[in-house]
Structure 1
Amino acid sequence: MSGDVAELLGDRRVNAGLGWLVVVAILAVVVGSLLDGQVLWAAFAGTVAALALLPPVSYRNVHAMLPWEILLLAALPIVGRLFATVPVTGNVATYLSVAAIALIVAVELQLFTPVKMTPRFAVVFVGVATMAAAGVWAVVRWASDRTLGTTFILDPALSEHAIEEALMWEFVASTIAGVGAGVLFALYVSYRIGTTRVPAEVVP
């Protein structure tokens, strides 16, 4: 085996190993959130874990893992929110986590499908996907408030105007986070993403 081939295989193995460690950390957040009674956040973290596991499950190849740096970026706000002690920290983590979902989807499309994005389009795609994810997340919390009696959005202590204003600021913050994630992805596409970390049999 030549040195170049060994290096490529080692890079794939290292990337997959680190990626699996990050996924385990996200799954630990799912368990911790469930034990803490944060069912919605457990579902959110579980969604991120499911997206991260989609390539290896689909291709039945443990090495078909997203770049570990992308998974780490997605995991940091999720883990951070679990240990947040003030509401502001938790909200910032939520915005970043919503952007992280869009970032993961974009990277999976870039690496595991025939879809290839230019850097400029990547910024727009991740920004729009983040806004869409933020909208879905708001609907999920509203449905929880209506059916389960939670107060994620419909807080009796707040006026209707205050709730609407807070929700609009959430969308603004999520959009900013999404644009930032899009710029990050564009830079990653330009300088880092290749096929060296993905087994040849799963590269479209």
Structure 2
Amino acid sequence: MSADVTVLLRDRRTNAVLAWLVVTLVLAVVVGSVAAGELLATAFAVALAAIVLLPPISYRNAQAMLPWEILLLAALPVVGRLFATVPVTGNLATYLSVAAIALIVAVELQLFTPVKMTPRFAVIFVGVSTLATAGVWAVLRWGADRLLGTTFILDPALTEHAIEEALMWEFVASTIAGVGAGLLFAVYVGRQIGTARIPEEVQA
């Protein structure tokens, strides 16, 4: 076995080990969120873990994992939401989590499917996905307020103008989070890192 092949295989094993450690951390967040009664954080952590585990389960290959750096960046908002010692303004943590999931989906499409994104399209894809999710989330909260009497958006203590302003700031936060995640992916695509760490039999 040549030295180059040995280094390549070792790099794949190292990436797989580190990636599985990140997955273990996300699963620990799921348990902690359930114990803390943080249902929204639980939902995001479960969604992130499910998406990350899709390639190794589909290909039945434990090394079919995304680059661990990307996984760690995506996991930070989910982990931070549970362990933050100070409150996060508005729904910023929510939109960071959404942007992280959109980032993971984009990277998996790039590495494991025939879909290939240019850096510019990646920014648009992740940004629009995050903003669209923010819109759906706002509609769901509004529907809950009207049908169930909750006060997610229609808070009687706030004026109509204040509610609209807060909602617009949420969309601004979601746009910033999405574009930021998209730019991270654009840098990832530009450097073309990660492909060598994925077993050839599972590469699209």
Same fold (TM over 0.5): yes
Q: CA deviation at 1:19?
A: 0.8
Cα deviations across residues 143-185 of structure 1 (Å, max 9, x unaligned)? 6656776654444443444333222211111111111111111
- What do you get for the CA RMSD once the two structures are aligned? 2.1
C-alpha separation between the residues in 2 aligned to 1:11 and 1:141?
45
Could you say if the C-alpha distance between residues 138 and 53 of structure 1 is closer, same or farther in structure 2, counting changes exceeding 3 Å?
A: farther
| Contact in 1 for aligned 2:81/2:93 (Cα 8 Å) | yes
Could you say if the C-alpha distance between residues 174 and 194 of structure 1 is closer, same or farther in structure 2, counting changes exceeding 3 Å?
A: same
Q: Which amino acid aligns with 2:120?
A: R
C-alpha separation between the residues in 1 aligned to 2:45 and 2:142?
18
Could you say if the C-alpha distance between residues 36 and 3 of structure 1 is closer, same or farther in structure 2, counting changes exceeding 3 Å?
A: same
Q: Which amino acid aligns with 1:190?
A: G
Cα deviations across residues 46-82 of structure 1 (Å, max 9, x unaligned)? 1111111111111111110111111101111111111
Matched, 1:198 2:202: no
Q: CA deviation at 1:93?
A: 2.6
* 2:113 alignment counterpart: 113
| Contact in 2 for aligned 1:99/1:130 (Cα 8 Å) | yes
C-alpha separation between the residues in 2 aligned to 1:73 and 1:90?
21
Could you say if the C-alpha distance between residues 132 and 63 of structure 1 is closer, same or farther in structure 2, counting changes exceeding 3 Å?
A: same
C-alpha separation between the residues in 2 aligned to 1:146 and 1:43?
23
* 1:54 alignment counterpart: 54
1:7-46 map, 5 Å? 7-46=7-46
Query: Could you say what secondary structure the match of 2:197 adopts?
Result: coil
| Contact in 2 for aligned 1:119/1:186 (Cα 8 Å) | yes
Query: Could you say what secondary structure the match of 1:85 adopts?
Result: coil
C-alpha separation between the residues in 1 aligned to 2:175 and 2:199?
34
Query: Could you say what secondary structure the match of 2:196 adopts?
Result: coil
* 1:94 alignment counterpart: 94
Query: Could you say what secondary structure the match of 1:9 adopts?
Result: helix
Could you say if the C-alpha distance between residues 96 and 158 of structure 1 is closer, same or farther in structure 2, counting changes exceeding 3 Å?
A: same
* 2:167 alignment counterpart: 167
Matched, 1:185 2:185: yes
Query: Could you say what secondary structure the match of 1:66 adopts?
Result: coil
* 1:3 alignment counterpart: 3
Gaps in structure 1 of 5+ consecutive residues: none
Aligned length: 204
After TM superposition, the score normalised by the length of structure 2 is 0.89
| Contact in 2 for aligned 1:102/1:133 (Cα 8 Å) | no
Matched, 1:126 2:126: yes
Of the structure 1 ranges 147-156 and 159-168, higher mean CA displacement relative to structure 2 is found in: 147-156
Gaps in structure 2 of 5+ consecutive residues: none
Could you say if the C-alpha distance between residues 49 and 116 of structure 1 is closer, same or farther in structure 2, counting changes exceeding 3 Å?
A: same
Could you say if the C-alpha distance between residues 147 and 80 of structure 1 is closer, same or farther in structure 2, counting changes exceeding 3 Å?
A: farther
* 1:85 alignment counterpart: 85
After TM superposition, the score normalised by the length of structure 1 is 0.89
